[in-house]
Chains A and B, each alone.
Chain A
Amino acid sequence: MFDYRFQWRVVWKHWPELLEAALLTLQITVLSVVFGLMIGMVLSVWRKSDNKILYWFTATWVALARNTPALLQIYLAFFGLGALGIHFSPYTAVLAAITFNNAGYLAEILRGGMDSISPSQRGAALGLGMKPLQMYVYVIFPQVLKAVFLPITNQIVWAMLGTSLGMIIGLQELTGMTTFLQSQTFRPFEFYLAAAVIYLIVCETILIFARLVAWRAFRW
């Protein structure tokens, strides 16, 4: 029944390409999380604002990002915006789409965290003469980020998994590179298994790093 011969040497031979692709995956993940977190913070603040336009803008962003597939968002960024004359490279399209997606989810996570912060903190900060921006930077967000740290790490892993969709529009990150190499060597199983192991390692690395950052940052 099982007369398949595994050939690992060919995977080993292409190790540098896989490693490079994994670094690209990591790079897109980190960038999309950093940008997504920044936009998500702004969105979560706007969500609380009295300005109707800002409120609806954020509500729409969050609803669109959360209720449509990430793949559709990548398609829209890559093919859809082309119809408007905006042409993204696969790299930019994936980064933009995953950032859009991330910002929506992170805004919702942060909003949940903000609801857990006592309103008197806000009053106290303003009463001490802080400007709203100072209040958010020095009082609100440090507490919010600590409260929702776990959901955020989940979201980082999600972002990493999401970058694999870049393969479909021809970006050679880890999944795309794997697909390319297996089509050259006709060794799909070995290559995809190797990719799965690399993803596992990247994922664990991200989680350990996030824990380190949290341990360093949240021990006031």
Chain B
Amino acid sequence: MNNLTLTFTANDFMLMLQGAGITFVLTIVSGFFGSLIGFIIGWGRSLGLWWLYYLLGLFIEVVRSVPLIIQFVLFNSFLAIAGYPIDPFTSGIITLSIYIAAYVAEVVKAGIDAVPPTMVKAARGLGMSYFQCFRFVVVPIGTRSVLPSWTGLMLGLMKDTSLIAVLGASPPELLRSSQIIITRIQEPLAILIGAGAFYFIMCHFITVAVQRYETSWASKGKVTA
């Protein structure tokens, strides 16, 4: 029962597959919340209030200049000294969301800036309210122009989820589970290449999916002038 196998078994493969699933879930969850927060921040920066612009800009600058590892540990130990320790997995997801939100905010800002001001004026001149104009003019046009950069961010986020391992979060994501297997079977090169292949396939899969979506979307919404 308790014999130690020193070769790569089907169970190991399942562990890595599970790890890839965890990586995927981490990406989806923190990508969703991060995009939501980032959208609000980017929108807030486009309002034209100078103090809000610089306040949110400061937040973005700080998050983008401090390594993710430090942010993980800092947030985790902040919760601990504030007296609200939560499990590393959850605090990891929160940190990842805040981290990616800063990048998304820049993309959202670029998307809003990409909409020609004359278009907005035309929409308002047609009697649309601010929110109608935002919802039906700015968002559709802006999204089309920044979708590729947003995809790039989400791919970056997926790769950054591997850092959650420093918190010792369980269940283990892809890279952590490969580490666990390596510790047992001492075959680092093969396992790491395998893990790399997993990442590669997932990245590739997302890129192709978004590209396909993008082309179908672009042709659907094409304006013939």
Residues of A in contact with B (beta carbons under 8 Å apart): 1-4, 63-64, 66-72, 75-76, 79-84, 157, 161, 164-165, 167-168, 175, 178-179, 188-189, 192-193, 195-196, 199-200, 203-204
Contacts and interface: CB of A to CB of B under 8 A. Distances in A.
B82 A2 contact: yes
A82 B192 CA distance: 12
A199 B70 CA distance: 10
Interface stretch (B2-10, B29-37, B139-147, B155-163): B155-163
A152 B78 CA distance: 33
B214 interface: no
Question: Helix, strand, loop or mixed for chain B's interface?
Answer: helix
A148 B186 CA distance: 43
Given A72-B175, A168-B166, A189-B77, A196 B70 contact: yes
Contacts of A79: 182, 188-189, 192
Given A164-B69, A189-B81, A67 B155 contact: yes
Contacts of A3: 83
A157 B73 contact: no
A64 B196 contact: yes
B78 A189 contact: yes
A176 to B, nearest CB: 10
B199 interface: yes
Interface of B: 61-62, 64-71, 73-74, 77-78, 81-83, 155, 159-160, 162-163, 166, 175, 179, 182, 187-190, 192-193, 195-196, 199-200, 203-204
A79 B159 CA distance: 19
B68 to A, nearest CB: 7
A164 to B, nearest CB: 3
A82 B188 contact: yes
B175 A75 contact: yes
A58 B62 CA distance: 34
Given A67-B200, A68-B199, A196 B160 contact: no
Q: Which of A72, A79, A204 counts the most chain B CB atoms within 10 A?
A: A72
Given A67-B203, A199-B65, A200-B62, A72 B195 contact: yes
A216 to B, nearest CB: 24
Contact of A71 (B61, B163, B193): B163
Q: Which of B62, B163, B166, B192 counts the most chain A CB atoms within 10 A?
A: B192
